[in-house]
A and B are shown apart, each in its own frame.
Chain A
Amino acid sequence: MQASKARLFKEYHEVQREKIADPDIQLVCDESNIFKWTAFVKGPSETPYEGGVFQLSFSVSDQYPLQPPQVRFLTKIFHPNVHFKVGWIFIGKSMLGKVKRVAITIGGVVGIMGIDVATVVISDGRSGGSYQWEWGMLVLEQHGQRAQLNGEHEMRNCNLEVETGEICLDILKNAWSPAWTLQSVCRAIIALMAHPEPDSPLNCDSGNLLRSGDVRGYQSMARMYTRLAAMPKKG
């Protein structure tokens, strides 16, 4: 605990000094919790993310820097290696029957879709568990116990907030080492934005477009979502 705090304080001071050196990254520490950080990174130029500012959330454990931080995109981004953020899931009142599809609200637009994997948390705070969408089934995880919601459960007024934006990047998993810092992780994420790895997709739609050679399709989708989610609203 002490070691991770000491290291994070050092990084905090380094970040203050590097602010001018790295104008593409703005890394901010939570005022009351050194283990929570937020970053704003600029989309790299000559990519469909150019002009956008993307928000990342860092959750650092007390095993840091031996263990990597958990990093997620808070800003929706269309990228093969980032789980697509879908906003809110609404499951209708007293819904019975098989949970096949859920209604998803993105910016006020309601759509129906199935998602592959997304960690979702209940928004009313009544239960502290998390929900995972696996193979077309909603899996509830609470206090280490798992239950599958596949039609035998009644669901009432469930507003689920989706926490996606998960990033597939080797240095955040098995290739992590303490030689990385929160700042250099941001740099690695910017590099990933410029050089997607469509062979290990978390966003299959985006990965498939690139793998099938439809660079234009990928770019226009990515650009559209950059405009919708990562640029300031006009007027």
Chain B
Amino acid sequence: MEPLSSLAAEYKSGSPILLEKIKVLDEQYAAIRRTRGDGNCFFRSFMFSYLEHIMECQDQAEVDRIQPNVEKSRKALQTLGYADLTFEDFFALFLEQLECVIQGKETSISHEELVIRSRDQSISDYVVMFFRFVTSAEIQMRTEFFEPFILGLTNTTVEQFCKLSVEPMGEESDHVHITALSDALGVPIRVVYLDRSSCDTGGVSVNHHDFMPVAGDLPSASCSSVKNFPFITLLYRPGHYDILYPK
């Protein structure tokens, strides 16, 4: 975790618009956590941010809430014709991590251990792959909804898109992936955009977009119980996602 000033330092001799924007970010956000830039950064950022939230709030209610969604994804994959053996290990590993971040059990882990696991490819990559399966299932179960977005990106069928741009590791995520994952798991995600675009009015503002799941029970936003507000905030710079920590 680094203070936001490290972000400013990165652009010291760069675009003035970006520096202005970082100043605006600095008012709202305390810190940034950088994610490996290997094409899996959205999923990896989401993984860490989500598990860290549950750990810090000891949010057992969220653990209970998400499990039916996970089971729904499992059923969706079965319906779509995926053999259980192809995805069950990834599901099991995610559910295991979910259990581990709740304290007071034999399997409980510390925050430090969570950081270590997120860097350990044998765990981290499996959780990333779990999210990729969930995302793919959600897109294929709601083909009609996603089709126009996918046609805007590539000229392939929805199934081909999932096979080529969702399921393979290292394939970068777009708003299609984020929408699908957020909907499937019922977890709102805020994405803050840091790019060179400026608005017509002259003043500098930083755009963000909240991906709000379509239906169902939403998790609590902070450790208090304000609903409908994303507790996962990601910073998007063209081609890469990192984690942001609000003040």
Contacts and interface: CB of A to CB of B under 8 A. Distances in A.
Contacts of B125: 66
Interface string A39-73: 00000000000000000000000000110000000
B15 interface: no
A14 B167 contact: no
Contacts of B129: 66, 177-178
Interface stretch (A4-12, A123-131, A197-205, A207-215): A4-12
Interface in A159-203: 170, 174-181
A176 B168 CA distance: 6
Contact of B87 (A3, A174, A175, A179): A179
Given A66-B129, A66-B169, A180 B86 contact: yes
Contact of A10 (B82, B85, B136): B85
Contacts of B210: none
Contacts of B86: 65, 178-181
Tell me the dominant secondary structure on chain B's binding face: helix
Given A10-B85, A11-B85, A66-B169, A179 B126 contact: no
B111 interface: no
A148 to B, nearest CB: 32
Interface in B107-145: 122, 125-126, 129, 132-133, 136
B231 interface: no
Contacts of A170: 164
A178 B83 contact: no
Given A3-B126, A66-B125, A66-B129, A178 B87 contact: yes
B85 A181 contact: yes
A7 B168 contact: no
A230 to B, nearest CB: 29
Interface residues of B, number: 20
B163 interface: yes
Contacts of A177: 129, 132, 163, 167-169
Contact of B90 (A175, A176, A178): A178
A94 to B, nearest CB: 48
A175 B163 contact: yes
Contact of B89 (A6, A14, A175, A176): A6
A179 B82 contact: yes
B133 A179 contact: yes
Interface in B24-41: none
A64 to B, nearest CB: 11
A181 B82 CA distance: 10
A177 B186 CA distance: 25
19 contacts: A3-B126, A6-B89, A7-B85, A7-B89, A10-B85, A11-B85, A14-B85, A65-B86, A66-B125, A170-B164, A174-B168, A177-B129, A177-B163, A177-B167, A179-B86, A179-B87, A179-B133, A179-B163, A179-B167
Interface of A: 3, 6-7, 10-11, 14, 65-66, 170, 174-181
The 4 A-B pairs at the shortest CB distance, nearest first, are namely: A177-B167, A10-B85, A177-B168, A179-B86
